[in-house]
Chains A and B, each alone.
Chain A
Amino acid sequence: MSTEGARLTGRTIAILMESDYVEPELHYYQRRFAEEGAKVEFLTRLWGQPSITFHGHEYQQPFTVDGDLEAVDAERLASFDALIVPSGMVSDRLRYTEDVKELSPAVKLLRDAFARPEVLKGIICHGLWLAAPIPEVVRGRRLTCHNNLIGDARNMGAVYTDQDVVVDGDLVTGRSAGHCHLFARMLIDLVAARTAPRRPALPGPRRPAEAVRSLTADAAPAPVAAPVRAPAPAAVAAPAAAPAPAAPEGAYRPDFTFSDLVAGYVTDYDADRGDLGLRTSDGRTVRARVGPTTTAEFLRNLGHPYVDAGAHLADLLVPGRHVFAHGIYYSEHGGHTFEAKRLVFVGRRVGEYEFADPNWWVDQLKELARFYRRAQFGEGEIDYADYRTVLRLGGDKTDSHVQETDTISRLIYGMSSAYMLTGDEDFLEVAERGTAYLRDHMRFVDRDEDVVYWYHGIEVNGDSERKLFTSEFGDDYDAIPMYEQIYALAGPTQLYRITGDRRIASDIDGTLRLIKRFFRDDDKGGYFSHIDPILLSPHHESLGPNRARKNWNSVGDHAPAYLFNLYLATGDEAHRAMLEECFDLIAEHMPEAGSPFVQERFHADWTPDRSWFWQQNRAVVGHNLKIAWNLMRMMSVTAKDGYRELAERIGRTMPEFGSDRQRGGWYDVVERTRAEGEGVHRFVWHDRKAWWQQEQAILAYQILAGHSGDGEFLRHAREAAAFYNAYFLDHDEGGVFFNVLADGTPYLVGNERFKGSHSMSMYHTAELCFLATVYERLLIDAEPLTLHFKPRPDGFADRTLRVAPDALPAGRVRLEWVEIDGRPYSAFDAAALTVKLPDSEHAVTVRAHLAPVEGGRTRG
């Protein structure tokens, strides 16, 4: 790809100078950077003189320098795009210090430059000597240098890399003067890639100037070369210092058209020229063309009509507005022109979001519940005999008549949650019948052990059914996985909150006895991930790689799937203690220095298992977010500084490593550590985005924002919810998509085309709607919330109905009024969020109206 010239207009390259310089090298820089339009400044220590003339190493050529490096103050340093320490004896001379307790001025300047990520440091050949007095600036970083200095580099703690040019973030190194052209070329590419002038960011994005990169004019979005990486938060110092990318040989740029998505905040818009400026979540700028074939719409909910926005673009494209732009990149003029084809506005006014409407998530849940009701049972009688786990994209059924326990349980969860928010008894009926069906068909009552376990599912053949006792999934084959027993409880427990049905309580208790007797590791704590089907042992050899293992799910999934809800329904100290134990284990064993991601799999003694099947040493982004979210819920049950610190640390760290800050949305599975030469954590299989991981991000950042009032967390909650609502809702068929491509296009292939699969069936989608409503209204927007319950007369112990919708910070929410069977009712405790139920012959309908407490926010 040809260089178009003058790519560095307005840029400044500073080069240190002294005697014994390498003539061809310095002359090359002088011409090459100037050729690109850059201003080249030569600096040296002038020793009080107006200028000094140096002589070259080989031919004694004179070179006069009048730039005083001691006169470079912070502001001037900040104006340099790059500072180069050249080859030859220049660096050796410049490190001379007359006061042995002081660093030389040139070394100080270099140290100051290293403190500024926006100033590239270019060090070539013997230039590395200048870093010797300040080895901390290169410690742990990849670099190259003259062969004679390899030992010196290693002594400084640097990672010597056998390449002609090495880029480690803001440090560019070259092997020898003979490679000065490659070295210069890399610096030019890197500086050019950061064309946008440095300026203050919009209020939204954090760390704006540290990573400014434009996608237009003269830099491509693909890795021309590594952009300067912003320094990682202290908590993840290790990964930040890990090897960054080397420049690929003959850096490749896409010189073809392609389509992509940009999520950003409008910085400016020239309606006459159709020229739009956007700033991404991480503060990078993008210019987009808006033309007559650009369509525009407002974000819409499931069941809502398309609302066109095309007629009002000039009014809508005002600074600060959050917008998605999907369009086409044209490779031309040495860079790319981005022409937006479809704009999605996430709110009617700047700073407004459609989904912050109090009814947004409620309406969405109603639509989801109707979709699944219709798909599974049609419009008439609710009969689970014809329930199917596999539903096609449009909700229709296939020939497979498998009924998996966990998909029915998830449907029950969703329908129960829909009832709680809407009071629609049809949804409650679906939940009730599903729970009865689980009891009759999926439950193994083990009288000998006095425990209950749940079949993986059944295959229905007319009147007979084949019990699928052990898991049919590859990960868990021939075993009883903890995960499936956990999720078997998700739906019935959510229903139990509403009805207090003693049959449900009895099955939950039986399953908890199974969990505590057979899955629990009484010795080292936690819960094993699998037990064998005959002896119910986690140590049986038939378990193979699942023998004596623990994982994120077996330890961490109790809390979100059923345990919080069970505690909310009962207030039972035993459940609280189990929650605390699980979170203590998470906080103790899962975070790990050396990776921004938690460790997810373990041997019995909690040593990491990095060889398991697909997981290896890989991170599921959503599990990290799920930990943050649930730790914050736990803060309202039993507060510990360690919980909040870990949750906030994940919340601060994760956007850089797990989210797509160009397009919005959250990724799936990535490598926990970077291999040598990799600047970013690699995607394991693809860069698609799964619906449930978006849920984790939205809830994690909502609750973090709700507890702390931190605007940064709220912004991430908004951005995640914007992407989810813009790209996951299936307006044509109903429901939500399993996966979308990085640019938001639905991925509709194979299992990911289905709507009822084991994970999808109305659990995460409904949990999101339910809890986003709770967090948005009660913790963020100070809006009230009415919930519905239908307790049975023989249900809850002491006839106490607990109506807290989630674990909420003490004192933030009050129960304002209660209605029973449509009439006002006064026997309730406003602060404890409990209702003393009347003595009644039949189930009663309870409406509980919760309201946020004025000024109730504290950092709990």
Chain B
Amino acid sequence: MSFSATMRLDDDVATIRLTGDLDARSAPEFNELVNEATGLQVNRMVLIMDELAYMSSAGLRCLVFAHQKMPPGRDLVLVGARPEVVETIKLTGFDRSVLIEQSTEA
């Protein structure tokens, strides 16, 4: 399934909606997008993941790297991630670094 990511900026919040498979092939494109968001020094980065079918380790590395580049104390929020994606995140201990929320309504 092809991957796409779109970013919306509202004041100092960047919201990125992910769809499809985030794997090693799509990781560089995603990396560019999150780098752009961190470059804007946003206060909060929200990833809408309910339409993300798969996230590989390469995709996760982009997230971890992006979080490292965000100024300390800013939030990275993952919304609506599927259980298997959450499992991948937990294997890296990254769940201690981000806010994982069930849905956009939360």
Interface, chain A (partner B; CB < 8 A): 440-449, 459, 461, 463-470, 533-535
- Interfacial chain A residues near B31, Cβ < 8 Å: 534
Distance in angstroms between the alpha carbons of A224 and B65 in the assembled complex: 57
B103 interface residue per 8 A CB criterion: no
Instruction: Give the residue name and chain of the B residue nearest to A460 (CB).
Output: B96
B68 interface residue per 8 A CB criterion: yes
| Nearest CB in chain A: distance from B70 CB, A | 8
- Interfacial chain B residues near A445, Cβ < 8 Å: 91-92
| Nearest CB in chain A: distance from B3 CB, A | 14
Tell which of A440, A446, A466 touches B97, judged by Cβ atoms closer than 8 Å.
Answer: A466
| Nearest CB in chain A: distance from B103 CB, A | 21
| Nearest CB in chain B: distance from A446 CB, A | 4
Contact B68 A468 (CB under 8 A): yes
Distance in angstroms between the alpha carbons of A443 and B90 in the assembled complex: 11
Contact A443 B72 (CB under 8 A): no
Q: Would A466 and B28 be within 8 Å (CB), given that A441-B96, A461-B72, A535-B58 are in contact?
A: no
B62 interface residue per 8 A CB criterion: yes
B9 interface residue per 8 A CB criterion: no
Contact B27 A466 (CB under 8 A): no
| Nearest CB in chain B: distance from A818 CB, A | 40
Tell which of B27, B93, B96 touches A534, judged by Cβ atoms closer than 8 Å.
Answer: B27
Jot down 9 A-B pairs with beta carbons below 8 A, ordered by A: A444-B61, A444-B64, A447-B57, A459-B72, A461-B72, A464-B96, A467-B64, A470-B68, A535-B58
Q: Would A446 and B93 be within 8 Å (CB), given that A467-B67, A468-B68, A534-B28 are in contact?
A: no
- Nearest first, the 10 closest Cβ-Cβ pairs linking A and B are A446-B57, A448-B57, A445-B91, A444-B92, A469-B64, A533-B65, A448-B56, A465-B96, A469-B68, A534-B31
Which residues of B (34-69) have their CB < 8 Å from a CB of A? 56-58, 61-62, 64-65, 67-68
Distance in angstroms between the alpha carbons of A442 and B24 in the assembled complex: 22
B73 interface residue per 8 A CB criterion: yes
- Interfacial chain A residues near B64, Cβ < 8 Å: 444, 467, 469, 533
B 66-106 to A, binary, CB cutoff 8 A, 1 in contact else 0? 01100011000000000000001001111011000000000
| Nearest CB in chain B: distance from A122 CB, A | 66
Distance in angstroms between the alpha carbons of A373 and B71 in the assembled complex: 32
Distance in angstroms between the alpha carbons of A448 and B91 in the assembled complex: 11
Distance in angstroms between the alpha carbons of A466 and B64 in the assembled complex: 9
Tell which of B24, B67, B92 touches A535, judged by Cβ atoms closer than 8 Å.
Answer: B24
Contact A534 B68 (CB under 8 A): no
Q: Would A443 and B93 be within 8 Å (CB), given that A466-B67, A466-B68, A468-B68 are in contact?
A: yes
Among B65, B67, B72, residue most surrounded by chain A Cβ atoms (within 10 Å): B65
Q: Told that A447-B88, A466-B67 touch, could you supply 10 new A-B pairs with CB distance under 8 A? A: A444-B57, A444-B92, A459-B72, A461-B73, A467-B93, A467-B97, A534-B27, A534-B62, A534-B65, A535-B58
- Interfacial chain A residues near B73, Cβ < 8 Å: 461
Contact A441 B65 (CB under 8 A): no
Q: How many interface residues does B have (CB within 8 Å)?
A: 22
Among B27, B56, B58, B72, residue most surrounded by chain A Cβ atoms (within 10 Å): B58
Contact B57 A449 (CB under 8 A): yes
Contact B91 A535 (CB under 8 A): no
Interface, chain B (partner A; CB < 8 A): 24, 27-28, 31, 56-58, 61-62, 64-65, 67-68, 72-73, 88, 91-94, 96-97
Q: Would A469 and B93 be within 8 Å (CB), given that A447-B57, A447-B88, A534-B58 are in contact?
A: no
- Interfacial chain B residues near A535, Cβ < 8 Å: 24, 27-28, 58
Distance in angstroms between the alpha carbons of A470 and B28 in the assembled complex: 16
Distance in angstroms between the alpha carbons of A535 and B58 in the assembled complex: 7
Distance in angstroms between the alpha carbons of A20 and B31 in the assembled complex: 84
- Interfacial chain B residues near A533, Cβ < 8 Å: 61, 64-65
Among A441, A442, A443, A469, residue most surrounded by chain B Cβ atoms (within 10 Å): A469
Distance in angstroms between the alpha carbons of A470 and B24 in the assembled complex: 18
Among A443, A444, A465, residue most surrounded by chain B Cβ atoms (within 10 Å): A444
- Interfacial chain A residues near B28, Cβ < 8 Å: 534-535
| Nearest CB in chain B: distance from A62 CB, A | 89
Contact A464 B93 (CB under 8 A): no
Contact B97 A465 (CB under 8 A): yes
Instruction: Give the residue name and chain of the A residue nearest to B73 (CB).
Output: A461
Contact A466 B72 (CB under 8 A): yes
Instruction: Give the residue name and chain of the B residue nearest to A472 (CB).
Output: B68
- Interfacial chain B residues near A444, Cβ < 8 Å: 57, 61, 64, 91-93
Among A442, A446, A449, A534, residue most surrounded by chain B Cβ atoms (within 10 Å): A534
- Interfacial chain B residues near A461, Cβ < 8 Å: 72-73
Contact A469 B56 (CB under 8 A): no
| Nearest CB in chain B: distance from A384 CB, A | 14
- Interfacial chain A residues near B94, Cβ < 8 Å: 467
Distance in angstroms between the alpha carbons of A441 and B93 in the assembled complex: 6
Distance in angstroms between the alpha carbons of A534 and B33 in the assembled complex: 13
- Interfacial chain B residues near A469, Cβ < 8 Å: 61, 64-65, 68
| Nearest CB in chain A: distance from B4 CB, A | 18
- Interfacial chain B residues near A449, Cβ < 8 Å: 57
Distance in angstroms between the alpha carbons of A466 and B66 in the assembled complex: 11
Distance in angstroms between the alpha carbons of A575 and B25 in the assembled complex: 33
Distance in angstroms between the alpha carbons of A447 and B84 in the assembled complex: 12
Distance in angstroms between the alpha carbons of A466 and B65 in the assembled complex: 10
- Interfacial chain B residues near A441, Cβ < 8 Å: 93, 96
| Nearest CB in chain B: distance from A464 CB, A | 6
Tell which of A447, A459, A464, A534 touches B91, judged by Cβ atoms closer than 8 Å.
Answer: A447
Distance in angstroms between the alpha carbons of A533 and B64 in the assembled complex: 9
- Interfacial chain A residues near B88, Cβ < 8 Å: 447
- Interfacial chain A residues near B65, Cβ < 8 Å: 469-470, 533-534
Distance in angstroms between the alpha carbons of A534 and B24 in the assembled complex: 8
Contact A448 B58 (CB under 8 A): yes
- Interfacial chain B residues near A467, Cβ < 8 Å: 64, 67-68, 92-94, 97
Distance in angstroms between the alpha carbons of A446 and B59 in the assembled complex: 11
Instruction: Give the residue name and chain of the B residue nearest to A444 (CB).
Output: B92
Distance in angstroms between the alpha carbons of A442 and B94 in the assembled complex: 10
Distance in angstroms between the alpha carbons of A444 and B72 in the assembled complex: 21
| Nearest CB in chain A: distance from B82 CB, A | 15
Among B57, B67, B73, residue most surrounded by chain A Cβ atoms (within 10 Å): B57
- Interfacial chain B residues near A468, Cβ < 8 Å: 68
- Interfacial chain B residues near A448, Cβ < 8 Å: 24, 56-58
